Structures are given as structure tokens and as C-alpha cells.
Amino acid sequence: MKRGRLLCYLLPAALLLGACTEKRYRVPASAPAPDIRIQRYDREFFEKGSIGDSAFWQIYTENIMQAGEAGLPETRAYMEVFRNDSDMLQVWSDCQQQFSDTRKVERQLSAAFKRLCHYVPDMPVPVVGMHLSGFGLSIVSAPDRLSASIDKYLGPDYPYYEDLFYGYQRRRMHPQQLTADYLNGWIRSEFTNESIMARQRLLDYLVYEGKILFLLQLTLPHEPLERLAGWDKTQLGWCRANEQRMWDRILEYEHLYSPDPLVLSKYIGDGPFTVYFTEDSPSRAAIWTGYQMVRQYMAAQPDCSIMDLMMQTDAREILRQSHYRPEKGR
């Protein structure tokens, strides 16, 4: 488990809690383990023209493709045009080659949901699928369903991407990102910001994003931290080296308690970099401070469970009890 290595970045006082935190997050081997089997909705649709899972078919036609009500003739006609489009047939063929064997992803998801259900005992386990959306949303989650648009995971250099996506977007569009995105999408659907945020200020969003990243790391302990955050190694290194500078800038601009949507979007929205920092920064770099707040809060609260953490809606209290101190650049 990577947790032991990551503890070296906590404050010295927090290091004394290493043993108990390691035990707190340990998942017993006897814990129930779901057996995830990915439903190949993509194959079923392109081979048969429909999907037998009626719940997902409705989601697919009405929400993902926005073709109209599932049972209408015009909806069926629209879906047939999509299914027989020459470009989409080529993309589907490429997807079959890239994702011919999903057993590794299934094993990763099964292990991840075992851990997630241990930390969150009432967490539902969805039916997991793959589909094509014509380069739409990467992950779609709905009650009991979680599916990935695998035409968004064909590699940064995939020819169709160049005219459709910016470079910073293409960087994340590789098959190795898939498992982390599945879990990220499901956790966010079960812990929406509306449900576990009392306010809509920058601090609240930083703590929310920190909670998500913290839980993702516990759930996928063998995934690189930068992948869980949607960065690369260089970008993660920038965040580590500039944590103090980021925090100073947020305080200098008096943005920590700002509810201004424009300010929020510049800190936590996607883009080539974080506007209030340097152009060397990754987008959403400020969430690193939220992640560190959550880590230090949990280190200072040895009796706090993951559910206690997730349901603590007072971000200011988390900041206070974390005794957060940014690390200076290393």
C-alpha cells in the first residue's frame, strides 16, 4: 500500500500517528469482494443495433446521445445513423483492438470496490459498462450503472483527437486512466458536492476535492497519485514544490472564502494551467492544498472514519482542526 510512502510528507508530529493510521485504513482479507464484470454495451450496440439492458439503453439514448425518448422511431433512426457512420465504425474498430481484453480493469475495479465498500459500508456496487458516445462525456454514472465512453481513452496521439481536443485534454485520454476515472466518477456521484458541502466558497471546494482525492488514493493504493489527480509526474512535482506559494496567493487575493463563480472556475476548472498561478502550473493545482488539509485533518483525528470525514460538511472546521501548514518547496 502506498500510504506508508506518502506519510513521509506529513508534518513531523503527524508521523507519530503512522502506525495507527495504517491500521485504520487496512482492509481485512475477509472483507466481501464484488466480482466486477464489464458489460460491453459498445459491442452489443454496434453489432445488434440496440442494448438489452433496458435501464442503460434509456440512459444511452436519452442522456448520453441525447437522441430522444428510447422507444420513439425517430430515436431509433438517429441511433442507426450514428451506428453506421463511417468515422464511428473506424473508432469502434480501434476501440475493439485497444480494449479487446478487459480482465485487468475488472480485477482492478473488483479490488477497488472491495476497499470502497469497506470504508463506506452502504456503498452500492454498480453494473459497470463500456460504450461509445462520439467523444462525449468520459464517464457516466446513474443509479446502479457506471459506464465509460471508451472512445475517450485511445491515447493522446489518437488521430481523431487532434481536431477535437486541446493538448491538456488529450494528455489524460489514455487507457491507463480508465480505472481511476471509473472510481472518480462513481465516488463523485455518491458524494456530490451539494450533499457534503455546507457552503459554496473556494475553501469548501478545496476540501471537497481533497476528500475525493484522499478517498481515491485509499481505494486505488497502487495507482500513481498524479493519475488520480488527473496530472502527470511533472505537474504533481510542481504542486509539491509550490504548495506554500499557492496558499500565499490564495490568502493574498482574499479568495479563500470567495463564493464568486468566476474565481472558483479559475481555481478548480479545467484548463491548460491555473489562472491565478504561473503558466507552469497544472489546471486545478489548488486542489493540492485541499488534499493536504484533509490528510493533516485525518492525521490529527485518529478516531475519524472515512464516513465521518466525508460527512463533515464544515470545511472551515476541517481547516481549523487540520492545523494546516503548507509545505515549502522541496
Output the pLDDT for position 280.
97
Strand-pairing partners, residue 146, are 128, 141
- Is residue 231 within 8 A of residue 224, CB to CB? The reply is no
The enclosing H or E element of 30 equals none
2 pLDDT higher than 60: no
At 22, the pLDDT band (50, 70, 90 cuts) reads: low
Q: Which three cell numbers stand for residue 5?
A: 510512502
Query: pTM score, two decimals?
Result: 0.91
pLDDT attached to residue 183: 98
Residue type, 147: S
Q: The C-alpha cell of 147 is what?
A: 459506464
Identify the band that residue 173 occupies on the pLDDT scale cut at 50, 70 and 90.
very high
Give the whole-angstrom CA distance, residue 236 versus residue 224. Answer: 10
| Cell 460527512, located at residue | 311
Q: How far is Cα 83 from Cα 277, in angstroms, rounded to an integer?
A: 44
Contact 211, 191 (CB under 8 A): yes
pLDDT bracket for residue 327 (50, 70, 90): confident
What is the Cα–Cα distance from 329 to 244, expressed in whole angstroms? Answer: 7
Q: Give the tens place of pLDDT for each residue, 59-74.
A: 999 999 999 999 999 9
Q: How far apart are CA 144 and CA 125, in angstroms?
A: 7
Collapsing DSSP to helix, strand or coil, 139 comes out as strand
Predicted confidence (pLDDT) per residue in 254-297, tens digit: 999 999 999 999 999 999 999 999 999 999 999 999 999 999 99
Asked whether the predicted pLDDT for residue 180 surpasses 70, the reply is: yes
What 3-state class would DSSP assign to 141? strand
pLDDT given at position 24: 87
